[in-house]
Amino acid sequence: MSNSNLTLADLQNSETSETVPPSKPAASKARMSIPAQKNKLLVFWISAAVISLDQVTKWLVLKNMRRGQSIDLLGDWLKFTFTENPGMAFGIEYGHPALITVFSIVATGLILFYTVRVGYLHGAYQVSLAFVLGGAIGNIIDRVFYGAILYDTPLFVGKVVDFIHVNVWRGTVADGIPYFGGKFVALFPIWNVADMAIVVGVVGILFFQNKFHEKADAMKAIDEDATADSAAMSADAAADDGAATTLP
């Protein structure tokens, strides 16, 4: 009798192991973990490369140029002009420098969180976010430390070093143009490597966002199906357990 009971238990265990597949959510996470880790490293290296190039070029400008100096590269079209920007990107001034610095740090933190959280779903989209992240950190370094290092001012009130001067057009905008009408505008303002990286990243985000959201929606649907299947399997298992307990 004991041998018969052992045989029945063995059969039940064998059937259970054969009929119950591995949890789909767990399998999905296992498949995603390795690519996600690789993509996080990609974000780190791209951002680090942008920050390094940005800071090296700014250091060269600080060591070899004086404020206001211009070096012609392609006539009036392209030159290096050393300026310091207390405001936001491209010379836009809005609020106290310390407030701009704090806002930049908070925004960069959100970008980092978003990049790590969901950016891995689409490689090109994540690369674009990495460019934005690297550029933002590059300018934050200027705002936080450059004032204290160069001019003995408090932290968080430093100015951003700008030097890439692309003089496409300068002039007064027609009065009928909203907001800019009657104002003197220079296209483009003087900027730096960090600003360039931010522009490249934003363009990439706009270009790849549809593909990113399509993939995100597909992954969400897969997770929902896996969750529904897991719930159904749990319900079936509970029903089988309930039926087994009622047997004499």
The answer to whether residue 71 is domain-embedded is yes
Spatial contact of 129 and 115, defined as CB atoms under 8 Å apart? yes
The answer to whether residue 6 is domain-embedded is no
Is residue 223 among the annotated active site residues?
no
Spatial contact of 125 and 119, defined as CB atoms under 8 Å apart? yes
pLDDT at 189 over 80: no
More confident residue, 104 or 118: 104
The answer to whether residue 198 is domain-embedded is yes
To 10 degrees, what angle do helices 24-64 and 193-246 make? Answer: 170
Residue 30 confidence class, pLDDT cut points 50, 70, 90: very low
The answer to whether residue 204 is domain-embedded is yes
Mean pLDDT over 220-225 rounds to 68
- The pLDDT of residue 245: 61
Instruction: Determine what percent of the chain is predicted with pLDDT higher than 70.
Output: 71
The answer to whether residue 101 is domain-embedded is yes
* Catalytic-role residue among 152, 162, 236, 241: 162
- The pLDDT of residue 84: 92
- The pLDDT of residue 204: 95
CA distance 235 to 222: 20
**Which is it for the CA torsion 196, 197, 199, 200, positive or negative?**
positive
Q: How many domains does the chain have?
A: 1
**What is the per-residue pLDDT across 161-187, written as a single tens digit (0 to 9) for each?**
999 998 888 788 888 888 778 888 777
Residue 102 confidence class, pLDDT cut points 50, 70, 90: very high
C-alpha distance from residue 15 to each of 21, 117, 177, 233, 244 (Å): 11, 39, 76, 14, 15
Residue 223 confidence class, pLDDT cut points 50, 70, 90: low
**What is the per-residue pLDDT across 225-238, written as a single tens digit (0 to 9) for each?**
667 666 667 666 66
Domain span at residue 167 reads: 34-222
85-89, 91-95, 97-101, range with the lowest pLDDT: 91-95
C-alpha distance from residue 178 to each of 94, 183, 187, 238 (Å): 19, 10, 17, 67
* Catalytic-role residue among 10, 54, 72, 195: 195
pLDDT at 31 over 50: no
pLDDT at 4 over 70: no
The answer to whether residue 8 is domain-embedded is no
Is residue 162 among the annotated active site residues?
yes
The answer to whether residue 234 is domain-embedded is no
The answer to whether residue 10 is domain-embedded is no
pLDDT at 201 over 60: yes
**What is the per-residue pLDDT across 40-80, written as a single tens digit (0 to 9) for each?**
788 899 999 999 999 999 999 999 999 999 999 998 889 99
